Amino acid sequence: MEGERSLTYHTVTLGPLTRSGLAQAEIADEHASGTGEAPISRPRVVEVPAGLPGERVTIAIEEPVPSARRRRARRQAPPRVWISAIHEASPLRVPAPCPVFGTCGGCQLQHMRYDAQLAWKREVVVSLLCEVGGFDALELREIVRATEPCDVPWHYRNHMRFSVNREGQLGLTARGSHGVLPLSSCPIAHERINTVLGVLARHVNPRPQVLVRCGAATGQVLMQPAPAPEVAEELSQAGIEVHTQAIEERLAGEIFRIRPSSFFQTNTAQAEKMARLVIEGLLQDRAVVSVGASSLGQSQALPKPALSERRPVLADAYCGVGTFALLLARYAARVYAIEESPSAIEDAQWNLRQVSNVEILKGKVEHLLPTLAGQLDGLVLDPPRAGCQEVVLEALLQHPVTRIVYVSCDPSTLARDLQVLCRRQTTYRLLSVQPLDMFPQTSHIECIAILERQA
């Protein structure tokens, strides 16, 4: 009936996790037979937040209210599902510290032991590389490394975008809805962001959103919009001097300026490891640099380049504020840094102001890389979640580059692009894929893949 919600309870054994980190549960769904006889029972799979494979649980399912708009669009909203009782818990289950875990759209895995999160992430990568990438499961055993853990898998996020509800309360949005869950702290936000959140929770905040960023290594805090004077005063008493235009962050011994809308890696400690993996992946065999796995995560300047070799010509495609370009400059004859966002370009120009061998190319990678690829010895690709455009991959097939390091925040588009580069054509060989836990407690997976041109 229109406007009435239906709520049912089912006791089930939970199946595997989806790639979004939700447990699958099969239930029997009853439909009217249409003949006036007994209803027909059909199996249906629902996705259960905060569940783990093999657990015996009772789940509550609240069907959405059918709206005329959705009926016209022939689109049914997913039901709201939650665990109402756990009868047999998985040995992988741990208490989730966040009171809104399971309801909040931010985290999916707080209830899972951290070592199991890491193992699950590797499995997701392997299965996508098999199913989408067309790679053989046996060869992937060697190629896909164990997920690189985050040393402290809490309070790592240096960037949070909070939503503000009609009452001016700040929070994160509930899973599958626009409803705001008011918060005064978040267990994955950096402690300085939580200090800000604690102060803002006592005030009526401007809608629709408040962005808070902090330099994990510098301690600087940026807010947008700028806080009202009385809020700024309270923040100052809490030890936070607010920046509104840009902050600085230190990574691998270099300082980067970051403006509010420029991309910067969300987890500074893991970004440091990533930077080392990128440099190592691109240059290791050139005897230009040796950055062993043992040095991962050490917050110090990168090693000096050897002087013996011809220095390579490199490109940092989708370069953001110039992170990899700046770190690679000392090892290269020339680095081309490609970026389309005006804000990130402005930051990159500042961050690269003291290096003379980096050229910033403003525009889309798909427009600029095809004419550049033929000159390159090495390339970093770090696209957004959508992965690389077909024209970018085509250019890399037409003009093979000796080494490519592909940094990906979505293993499904990584697998799709690797299929083109290494399987549809065998122009490149996949040397390694290193999952790196940039986003602990969530289902997001970051990977660094290293490709070599086939002889």
Ligand X SMILES: C[S@@+](CC[C@H](N)C(=O)[O-])C[C@H]1O[C@@H](n2cnc3c(N)ncnc32)[C@H](O)[C@@H]1O
Active-site residues, by number, are 409
406 is a site residue for ligand X (CB under 6 A): no
Contact indicator for 243, 306 with CB cutoff of 8 Å? no
Smallest gap, in angstroms, from Cβ of residue 260 to ligand X?
13
328 is a site residue for ligand X (CB under 6 A): no
Amino acid symbol at 195: T
Tell me the window of 88-96, 237-245, 263-271, 428-436 that interacts with ligand X (CB under 6 A): 263-271
Give the SS3 label for residue 126. Answer: helix
Residue 354 marked as a ligand binder: no
17 is a site residue for ligand X (CB under 6 A): no
In the bound state, the residue with its beta carbon closest to ligand X is: 320
Smallest gap, in angstroms, from Cβ of residue 217 to ligand X?
15
Among residues 313 and 448, whose Cβ is nearest to ligand X? 448
Q: Partners of 46 in the beta sheet? A: 25
Per the document, the length of the chain is 455
334 is a site residue for ligand X (CB under 6 A): no
Please tell me the distance from the alpha carbon of residue 189 to that of residue 430, in angstroms, as a whole number.
Answer: 35
Tell me the window of 70-78, 143-151, 279-287, 359-367 that interacts with ligand X (CB under 6 A): 359-367
* Summary count for the chain: helices (H), strands (E): 11, 20
Q: Which positions from 360 to 389 touch ligand X by CB under 6 A, shown as an x/- string?
A: ----xxx---------------x-x-----
Q: Which positions from 147 to 166 touch ligand X by CB under 6 A, shown as an x/- string?
A: --------------------
The residue with tokens 């240059």 is 283
Task: Work out which of 340, 391, 399, 432 binds ligand X, going by CB under 6 A.
Answer: 340
319 is a site residue for ligand X (CB under 6 A): yes
Among residues 179 and 363, whose Cβ is nearest to ligand X? 363
Smallest gap, in angstroms, from Cβ of residue 219 to ligand X?
20
Residue 339 marked as a ligand binder: yes
Residue 382 marked as a ligand binder: yes
Residue 265 marked as a ligand binder: yes
Per-residue burial over 303-312, b if 16 or more Cβ lie within 10 Å, else e, is: bebeeeeebb
Among residues 282, 280, 252, 264, the alpha carbon closest in space to that of 405 is found at 282
394 is a site residue for ligand X (CB under 6 A): no
Indicate the helix (H) or strand (E) that contains 26.
strand 23-31
171 is a site residue for ligand X (CB under 6 A): no
Contact indicator for 125, 433 with CB cutoff of 8 Å? yes
Among residues 277 and 421, whose Cβ is nearest to ligand X? 277
Contact indicator for 443, 21 with CB cutoff of 8 Å? yes
270 is a site residue for ligand X (CB under 6 A): no
If you write DSSP's letter for every residue of 200-215 in order, what string do you get? HTTSPPPSSEEEEEE-
Please tell me the distance from the alpha carbon of residue 265 to that of residue 276, in angstroms, as a whole number.
Answer: 14
Among residues 125, 134, 127, the alpha carbon closest in space to that of 420 is found at 134
Among residues 289 and 344, whose Cβ is nearest to ligand X? 344
Task: Work out which of 324, 331, 406, 428 binds ligand X, going by CB under 6 A.
Answer: 324
Contact indicator for 312, 332 with CB cutoff of 8 Å? yes
> Phi/psi of residue 441, each to 5°?
75, -5
Among residues 352, 344, 417, the alpha carbon closest in space to that of 379 is found at 417
Smallest gap, in angstroms, from Cβ of residue 274 to ligand X?
8
Q: Partners of 44 in the beta sheet? A: 27
Smallest gap, in angstroms, from Cβ of residue 295 to ligand X?
19
Question: Which spans of this chain sit near ligand X (rule: CB under 6 A)?
Answer: 263-265, 318-320, 323-324, 338-341, 344, 364-366, 382, 384, 409
Q: Which residues are annotated as a binding site for S-adenosyl-L-methionine?
A: 265, 318, 339, 382
